[in-house]
A and B are shown apart, each in its own frame.
Chain A
């Protein structure tokens, strides 16, 4: 098949369509999990596990810990699928919230002391921004916020940094970090609606 690789618009359109399709599949799979269909859980795993590991790894760095988080997440997904309501939110949003929640829990409880200074060089907020699709409203709106205020959002959400860890990394007082976070989130909301 001859796909023109330089046509970015088409590629992105495909990505958008794939996301819609993925959302429909995951939503149906969660409903089936709630009804006790174990094959639906495996379907979610087959579709999402690599990206879930990716999300957890950015918080935990280590592959084994990331897999631990994804394992815990799937146990929660299986036991909690009934609490997912398609009318109230997206399936992907729910699934990834569970993964982040588990990864953050491991990060805060078991990994708190060695994570912050273990691989600080690996964390480059600008690279993380560059991974966002160019059409992403999140990306466009973040770009309107000045650094390092904007970095607070990236470092907290993507790398799971707490207020304390952010203050340490950005070398500013805790109160400043908190006010940066608050103002950045307000800007984001005003920009994204």
Chain B
């Protein structure tokens, strides 16, 4: 391939984004996009410049069957075949370092914790039986609680309780389907610069004690999450699978 000047590269990028290239040139540009950083930057520049055209397109409701067809066409469970390699680890790290992501997650986590607290208080007035349980629970009252919520369904999946003596437990509130050859792994993010640390592993959703012995004392707003990993846990020491539930710790009142 001949070296193109910046100007030529940019002109090519513009025509590519505009959709003005002939099929052969278009295919070549698509290939080039995969490996040429300069070209990629130029293409992104043009996509950004022209993006308002797409944003201002008049929305049209799709027919009800469209999602069904898409769901059918994307049915293969890629999660099961994606090798847990470096790429997955980097991807995990990208998300872990996305500040906005965690800000939003933190808010949701706090809200969920509040709802949980309200539910608990509400229950005390309605059920004597539950009250006795809650009193028993209060006697071993955790210092911090994290309510782990699914991003997609907003369902509460589990609670993490951190006690004054350093014990941390995970209590599932929902059955999680674990495919053959996979396992649930629990992570916590104590220090964003250090990254997520694995703290527990379980083949099925059941209450487990988490191992945070080698980590500093659990604090408020510390993130816990459950991911689906290959049997034996993530081989990279970083989350590689989909995040099922996550939430931040809140101090118990």
Contacts and interface: CB of A to CB of B under 8 A. Distances in A.
Contact of A51 (B57, B77, B87): B57
A97 B45 CA distance: 13
Contact of A63 (B48, B60, B80, B87): B60
Nearest to A39: B152
B56 to A, nearest CB: 4
A145 interface: no
Given A32-B151, A42-B67, A132 B20 contact: no
Given A31-B94, A154-B53, 9 more contacts: A32-B243, A39-B151, A55-B57, A67-B62, A67-B66, A78-B78, A99-B54, A136-B56, A160-B19
A43 interface: yes
Given A28-B95, A54-B59, A90 B48 contact: yes
B52 A67 contact: no
B225 to A, nearest CB: 12
A92 B52 CA distance: 11
Interface in A124-167: 128, 131-133, 136-139, 153-154, 156-158, 160, 162-163
Nearest to A89: B44
Interface size on B, as a range, is: 35 or more
Interface stretch (B98-106, B114-122, B162-170): B98-106
B79 interface: yes
Contacts of A40: 151-152
A49 B64 CA distance: 11
Contacts of B104: 24
A36 B18 contact: no
B246 to A, nearest CB: 12
Interface string A45-75: 1000111011101100001001100110011
A90 B66 contact: no
Interface of A: 19, 24, 27-28, 31-32, 34-43, 45, 49-51, 53-55, 57-58, 63, 66-67, 70-71, 74-75, 78-79, 82-83, 86-90, 92-94, 96-97, 99-101, 104, 108, 128, 131-133, 136-139, 153-154, 156-158, 160, 162-163, 181-182, 185, 188-189, 192
A3 B74 CA distance: 42
A178 to B, nearest CB: 9
* A interface, over-half SS: helix
B3 to A, nearest CB: 21
A93 B48 contact: yes
Contacts of A71: 66, 69-70, 73
Contacts of A154: 53
Given A88-B40, A89-B47, A37 B242 contact: yes
Contact of A24 (B70, B80, B91, B100): B100
Contact of B95 (A31, A89, A92, A160): A31
Contacts of A34: 91
Given A32-B151, A36-B78, A78-B74, A188 B241 contact: no
9 contacts: A32-B243, A55-B57, A63-B63, A93-B48, A132-B52, A153-B18, A162-B20, A181-B15, A182-B11
B60 A66 contact: yes
A35 B101 contact: no
B101 A28 contact: yes
A166 to B, nearest CB: 9
Contact of B47 (A24, A36, A93, A185): A93
Contacts of B50: 138, 157
Given A82-B87, A90-B48, A181-B18, A157 B62 contact: no
